[in-house]
Amino acid sequence: MIWDVAFEKHLLIDGSNVLRAWPELRALERRDRDAARNRLSDTVRILHDFEEFRLTLVFDGKGQEVVVEHPSGHETFTVVFTPSHLTGDDVIEHLVGQSTDPRTCWVATDDRAERQTVDAVGGSSLSAAELAEWVDRARVRQSAQLSGLHERNRQEWRRK
């Protein structure tokens, strides 16, 4: 089971930034911020489950303390809400900077300054559009893999 392995790669997503960058989420966020956050979480989950990335979604300011949630029950899939006096950028930059190996960290955001900071400390960055493309490619690969598995199972069943 993939959740029993140590994930070597860490994807940190500037959730507040991506919500504004993806048109369908931007529209949903105007009506229901929690629903938009949940949809983003559900959408990028494939990068955790199929691509085997440790995934951290970071959202700006919610209360006085950092709030950490594990919506799937797995420690490798985390949603973080920053305290109101910190931004998601602050938390992401801290996490990448404090990583034992920043080269294993990828940050998804359209914030140019944040991307430059992440790149400067040895991490990698991608835009919100590149994140969407990655999710789409992962879906295609997962679908192809499942189709192949289904076909192999069908052929094996016929032989029995």
Q: How confident is the model at residue 69 (pLDDT cuts 50, 70, 90)?
A: very high
Bridge-based pairing of strands 54-59 and 67-69 is: unpaired
- pTM, two decimals, is 0.87
pLDDT given at position 3? 44
pLDDT given at position 2? 44
The CATH number that applies at residue 153 is: 3.40.50
Task: Judge whether 131 and 18 are in contact, CB under 8 Å.
Answer: yes
Asked if residue 1 belongs to a domain, the reply is: no
Q: How confident is the model at residue 145 (pLDDT cuts 50, 70, 90)?
A: confident
Asked if residue 153 belongs to a domain, the reply is: yes
Bridge-based pairing of strands 77-81 and 54-59 is: parallel
pLDDT given at position 63? 86
pLDDT tens digits, 75-133: 999 999 999 999 999 999 999 999 999 999 999 999 999 999 999 999 999 999 999 99
pLDDT tens digits, 13-65: 999 999 999 999 999 999 999 999 999 999 999 999 999 999 999 999 778 99
* Closest alpha carbon to 37 in 53, 60, 10: 60
Asked if residue 32 belongs to a domain, the reply is: yes
Asked if residue 11 belongs to a domain, the reply is: yes
Q: How many domains in the chain?
A: 1
Asked if residue 2 belongs to a domain, the reply is: no
Answer yes or no: is pLDDT of 10 > 90.
Answer: yes
Answer yes or no: is pLDDT of 5 > 60.
Answer: no
Distance CA 145, CA 150 (A): 9
Print the domain residue range for 105. 7-159
Task: Judge whether 95 and 12 are in contact, CB under 8 Å.
Answer: yes
